[in-house]
Structure 1
Amino acid sequence: MRWASLISVLLLAGAADATVRRVAHAGKHHIEHEHAAKRARAAAAASHHHQVVGRQASAHKFLNANTTRFAVNGTAIPEVDFDVGESYAGLLPISSDPHEESNLFFWFFPSTNPAADKEILIWLNGGPGCSSFEGLLQENGPFLWQYGTYKPVKNPWSWHTLTNIVYVEQPVGTGFSIGKVTITNDDELAAQFMGFWKNFVDTFGMHGYKVYIAGESYAGLYCPYIASAFLDAEDKTYYDMSGLTIYDPVLTWDEVQEPIPAVQFTEYWAGLFPFNDTFRADLKRREKECGYADFMAEYLVYPPKGHIPSRLPGTYENGTTRPECAAIYDDIYEAINLLNPCFDIYQVATTCPLLWDVLGFPGSTAYDPSGSPLIYFDRPDVKAAIHAPANVTWEECSSGNVYVNGTDNSLPPIFLALPHVIDKTRNVIVGHGALDMILLANGTLLALQNMTWGGRTGFSRRPDEPFYVPQSNLSTEATLAAGGAVFGSLVSERGLTYVGVDLSGHMIPQYAPSAAFRHLEYMLGRVDCMNCTVPFTTDVGSTPQSTQPMGKGTAPQGWTRGKQDIVN
């Protein structure tokens, strides 16, 4: 697939028509395929599917008269050959109006961890319009079915082993969620989510629970706006907002997080972008002429020298990006696809072959081999198992608009929503994968250095403290993950922690599950440091940790001029 078509879908900067500045849209894009024959086969199989068989109520903490209709049989989830345990799934309306027709779909997994009493975490994927079941099935849910693998496996890094977690498909029009799309911005999105959340809390009797929110990509907008609205409600019975984690998030205008740092990204990872001298020289010329190199050198410094000017480099006076500057990002993508036809913009170290994905979209290239089964969540037997509407065609990312006219008119979260959440909770983590190119780590750091929280702007220190992932006994051959080493860099000031994660692409809980597990432990207050060798709290009989000096952090984030690693 050519990059120009992906740009038009994701609304990335770099379109040749130099569109007006906007907030970056980022998330896996699902391409619809015809599966009529497959649906027919799956429908026949679904006729033999056993409906939920009630187990003893004593084994179900949240089973009551209000929740019985949502109970999922943990031993009858298609293709999963182990008991997933207690869970609940279904639709709940976005308001208390008895005639409300808009509903959000959820799947809730209670935790067996005693420390999880009276707390719950909400997980959201981005897009906009991408299903949070992507996170469930391939990132941090109780069972995993990664692209290219044979079958679902039990996930030792599941976040439900730490806390109660609910995956919500939102806004309306995403996944199995149904209704009329009416929102034009994320204040309206948050208002709808609050209506859903009140119904969820009432249904499951979770009044007075601490609420944590986590998500990635375009949820970098969703999560701060929802969290900010929870805080503004000043109602701890329903909305006791206590912490936020966002991964590789959309934070600011797309130019800042995409084309401005793009050339330096390819220089740092020169071995993954082995361009010839003439093409690289042309990129460097355009980077200089557009003012991108000077902008990076001036504003990616610690502490910041001041706020980024309202007119960004490479733009006309009306705010639109000059075509020759906008095209830099596009041209990089086109060039690397000639060298690596299996290039994955979400994880740039990926090479051929293409791997089939049960969600229908491995990285940035659609691949549907002949004879492949239905997309997992669109199978009739899976829909029946989780009480999903049979007449809805599930897509990983919606092919329709989830905002009216497809436009989100929200202000980027760094200006109001995110600082508000940091100042009120003093418990916010922003993580970024070093191998992500859909949104660049240095763009995220530029955004944070332009944000004011806790009475000051930006971080005063470079993110160079070591981020340590403990060695553990949790992984299996099917779920191997990093451990026993420094695995990135961090800086923490005034309630905000930035963590750069090595060897991870856009979806950190997928590419670096042990790192994300440590982030969650820290946000929940289970551990009080991420630059120390404290074992995982769920690792009984933990492996002894290294006693060698850790030194500085290792994630290549915060550089300012290509490979040169400048400390300001």
Structure 2
Amino acid sequence: MKPSLSWLLPASVAVQAVTHGSDHIHRDAVSSVVKHGINYTVYEHAATNSSLEIVANSGICETTPGVRQYSGYLSVGEDMNMFFWFFEARQNPETAPLTAWLNGGPGCSSMIGLFQENGPCRFVHNETTPSLNPYSWNNHSNMLYIDQPIGVGFSFGNDPVDSTVSAAPYVWKLLQAFYTHFPEYESREFHLFTESYGGHYGPAFAKYIQAQNRAIASQTLTGEPIQLVSLGINNGWFDSSTQEYSYITYSLLNSYRALINVTAAVDYGANYRRYCSPALDNCTASATDEACREADAICAAVVDDPLVASGDFDVYDIRRPADDPDPPSTYSVYLHNQTVRNAIGARSTYQECPQGVFDKFAYTGDNARSFLPALSDVVQTGINVLLWAGDADWICNWFGVQAVANAVNFSQQDAFRRAPLQSYTVDGVGRGEYKSAGNFTFLRVFEAGHEVPYYQPETALQVFSQMVKRAPIFST
């Protein structure tokens, strides 16, 4: 199908659109508007009572000839503006799947993933302007980067989101408005990739999308079904009860350098069992904000904070000292440039990980809440699910991610637990080790910190390309 040309329609044109799965006809309007000196094409989406404000082909980041891009805002509710940036696939965009990328936090911008990890451009050797990234994931998929919740990155306005569960509907609404404005993507296979706090976001958002699909199919909801076929989460935070203890084992037994000795590990383990574990059990049993907030604070006090203070290491890459993090933040300086912001339609000052959004999630105790049950539910639906982790990361280390993977409840859980790790190679070179059972895979990536595609771009691209082809990952 040819790409939609609705963004080219004159301001006076009103487009009548029928939403599939319902006989109700919505009148969706296309117009133009100037805000802060920026010209937007505006698409009113009646089904979700929202609008898309779009700038087309800014020339920023993706400069491959013929590859189109769109950026701007989903506006929903009273002064609620969620920023997104979309890039067509470099190869066969008319048939390539659609992938959404979300960074974690909670409260961190997906511009991190775009510029530091897997987007069409990157900053090499601290250059002040970006250059094309040959390992960009839009080599194989149309890519959509979303700054969520509101208040993160370039998103701005009133922010009612204070938990993972309350964030999900807004991402779904953005996708609904996107599909209606770009109908050529409605029937495409959809992939959701995320990292870090994406261990919460990924399972919850995937489960929400699948629930909405069922409601659309039963005609109790008006909307477009989202053809979710895979979920990928690298270095995710899923389940505190499992992953808090992994801080201790990883600090002692990781393959790079011991951060603590055996005596200290025993002491930390005793504190975990005496204080942290019971508090997390109380969070799970009561599910109150107060209990989960308290559990998070207790575990930080007896495990997390003392371990971080015990040595000089970067929690995102233990190979580096704490005061010399990598990757550099060059991209953030670039996004503060007013010319760049105007070109992409950004109307706010860029905030990579604003404290205010994090604090809202902290107040509801969201971090301590387990999303292992939601992850199990999603795996049970049969879509391809990959948990992968760079093995130099401490904050969401591979020990904990593998323990979570082994705890996922699905029909082939026993086979998955028993399966040995086998070498994962890229062009014959060992880049990690993995195991699979059915539609579920775990992968450890060697020599990679928290942002796996930054440290091992070739490996990450191979993994991603295999996932979007709906095949289990395999060595080459």
Smaller-chain TM-score bracket: 0.7 to 0.9
**Paired AA for residue 210 in structure 2:** L
User: Which residue of structure 2 lines up, in the alignment, with residue 162 of structure 1?
Assistant: 140
- Separation in structure 1 between the aligned mates of residue 359 and residue 321 of structure 2, nearest angstrom: 35
How far residue 147 of structure 1 moved from its aligned partner, in angstroms, is 6.9
User: Which residue of structure 1 lines up, in the alignment, with residue 16 of structure 2?
Assistant: none
- Separation in structure 2 between the aligned mates of residue 523 and residue 327 of structure 1, nearest angstrom: 39
For residues 233-287 of structure 1, the C-alpha deviation after alignment (integer angstroms, 9 at most, x for no partner) is 224844111111011001101x5323x2233323334753476xxxx25413404
Aligned residues: 413
Contact kept? 2:242, 2:404, Cα under 8 Å: yes
How far residue 110 of structure 1 moved from its aligned partner, in angstroms, is 0.5
Q: Of the candidates 278, 303, 308, which is equivalent to residue 333 of structure 1? A: 308
CA pair 61-250 structure 1, distance change in 2 beyond 3 A: farther
- Separation in structure 2 between the aligned mates of residue 239 and residue 403 of structure 1, nearest angstrom: 31
User: Which residue of structure 2 lines up, in the alignment, with residue 268 of structure 1?
Assistant: 253
User: Which residue of structure 2 lines up, in the alignment, with residue 400 of structure 1?
Assistant: 356
Q: Of the candidates 196, 207, 230, which is equivalent to residue 243 of structure 1? A: 230
Q: Of the candidates 329, 333, 339, which is equivalent to residue 381 of structure 1? A: 339
Q: Of the candidates 319, 340, 351, which is equivalent to residue 349 of structure 1? A: 319
Tell me whether 1:459 sits opposite 2:416 in the alignment. Answer: yes
* Local SS of the residue matching 2:317: coil
How far residue 228 of structure 1 moved from its aligned partner, in angstroms, is 1.1
- Separation in structure 2 between the aligned mates of residue 264 and residue 281 of structure 1, nearest angstrom: 10
Structure with the bigger percentage of helix: 2
How far residue 413 of structure 1 moved from its aligned partner, in angstroms, is 1.7
User: Which residue of structure 1 lines up, in the alignment, with residue 397 of structure 2?
Assistant: 440
User: Which residue of structure 1 lines up, in the alignment, with residue 429 of structure 2?
Assistant: 485
- Separation in structure 1 between the aligned mates of residue 429 and residue 99 of structure 2, nearest angstrom: 27
* Local SS of the residue matching 1:261: helix
Tell me whether 1:215 sits opposite 2:185 in the alignment. Answer: no
Tell me whether 1:468 sits opposite 2:425 in the alignment. Answer: yes
For residues 292-327 of structure 1, the C-alpha deviation after alignment (integer angstroms, 9 at most, x for no partner) is 7xxxxxxxxxxxxxxxx9589xxxx99858979943
- Separation in structure 2 between the aligned mates of residue 324 and residue 192 of structure 1, nearest angstrom: 31
For residues 318-374 of structure 1, the C-alpha deviation after alignment (integer angstroms, 9 at most, x for no partner) is 98589799434433322322xxxxx3210111259837976379xxxxxxxxxxxx7
CA pair 61-210 structure 1, distance change in 2 beyond 3 A: farther
For residues 527-559 of structure 1, the C-alpha deviation after alignment (integer angstroms, 9 at most, x for no partner) is x453332xxxxxxxxxxxxxxxxxxxxxxxxxx
* Local SS of the residue matching 2:349: coil
Tell me whether 1:121 sits opposite 2:99 in the alignment. Answer: yes
User: Which residue of structure 2 lines up, in the alignment, with residue 200 of structure 1?
Assistant: 178
Higher relative contact order (CA 8 A, sep 6+): 1
* Local SS of the residue matching 2:228: strand
User: Which residue of structure 2 lines up, in the alignment, with residue 496 of structure 1?
Assistant: 440
- Separation in structure 2 between the aligned mates of residue 498 and residue 422 of structure 1, nearest angstrom: 12
User: Which residue of structure 2 lines up, in the alignment, with residue 89 of structure 1?
Assistant: 71
Tell me whether 1:107 sits opposite 2:85 in the alignment. Answer: yes
How far residue 146 of structure 1 moved from its aligned partner, in angstroms, is 5.3
* Local SS of the residue matching 1:436: coil
Contact kept? 1:419, 1:451, Cα under 8 Å: yes
User: Which residue of structure 2 lines up, in the alignment, with residue 130 of structure 1?
Assistant: 108
- Separation in structure 2 between the aligned mates of residue 532 and residue 434 of structure 1, nearest angstrom: 18
User: Which residue of structure 1 lines up, in the alignment, with residue 264 of structure 2?
Assistant: 283
TM-align CA RMSD: 3.6
Contact kept? 1:241, 1:425, Cα under 8 Å: no
Give the TM-score taking structure 2 as reference length: 0.76
**Paired AA for residue 405 in structure 2:** L
Contact kept? 1:88, 1:109, Cα under 8 Å: yes
User: Which residue of structure 2 lines up, in the alignment, with residue 140 of structure 1?
Assistant: 118
Structure 1 unaligned segments of length 5 or more: list them. 1-57, 293-308, 338-342, 362-373, 471-483, 534-568
Structure with the bigger percentage of strand: 2
* Local SS of the residue matching 2:154: coil
- Separation in structure 2 between the aligned mates of residue 462 and residue 149 of structure 1, nearest angstrom: 44
CA pair 444-274 structure 1, distance change in 2 beyond 3 A: closer
For residues 483-541 of structure 1, the C-alpha deviation after alignment (integer angstroms, 9 at most, x for no partner) is x4111111111311001100011111111111211221121127x453332xxxxxxxx
User: Which residue of structure 2 lines up, in the alignment, with residue 179 of structure 1?
Assistant: 157
Contact kept? 2:152, 2:357, Cα under 8 Å: no
**Paired AA for residue 228 in structure 1:** K
Tell me whether 1:359 sits opposite 2:329 in the alignment. Answer: yes
For residues 441-468 of structure 1, the C-alpha deviation after alignment (integer angstroms, 9 at most, x for no partner) is 1112222223212374683324511111
Contact kept? 1:93, 1:195, Cα under 8 Å: no
How far residue 190 of structure 1 moved from its aligned partner, in angstroms, is 1.0
CA pair 310-112 structure 1, distance change in 2 beyond 3 A: same
Structure 2 unaligned segments of length 5 or more: list them. 10-29, 33-39, 42-53, 218-223, 274-279, 284-290
CA pair 348-458 structure 1, distance change in 2 beyond 3 A: farther
User: Which residue of structure 1 lines up, in the alignment, with residue 452 of structure 2?
Assistant: 508
* Local SS of the residue matching 2:432: strand
Give the TM-score taking structure 1 as reference length: 0.65
The answer to which of 421-430 and 499-508 deviates more is 421-430
Contact kept? 2:67, 2:89, Cα under 8 Å: no
User: Which residue of structure 2 lines up, in the alignment, with residue 256 of structure 1?
Assistant: 242
Contact kept? 1:359, 1:376, Cα under 8 Å: no
* Local SS of the residue matching 2:171: helix
**Paired AA for residue 75 in structure 2:** P
Contact kept? 2:3, 2:94, Cα under 8 Å: no
Contact kept? 2:335, 2:341, Cα under 8 Å: yes
* Local SS of the residue matching 1:200: helix
* Local SS of the residue matching 2:417: coil
Contact kept? 2:415, 2:437, Cα under 8 Å: no
- Separation in structure 1 between the aligned mates of residue 107 and residue 300 of structure 2, nearest angstrom: 28
- Separation in structure 1 between the aligned mates of residue 57 and residue 296 of structure 2, nearest angstrom: 53
User: Which residue of structure 1 lines up, in the alignment, with residue 49 of structure 2?
Assistant: none
- Separation in structure 2 between the aligned mates of residue 146 and residue 138 of structure 1, nearest angstrom: 10
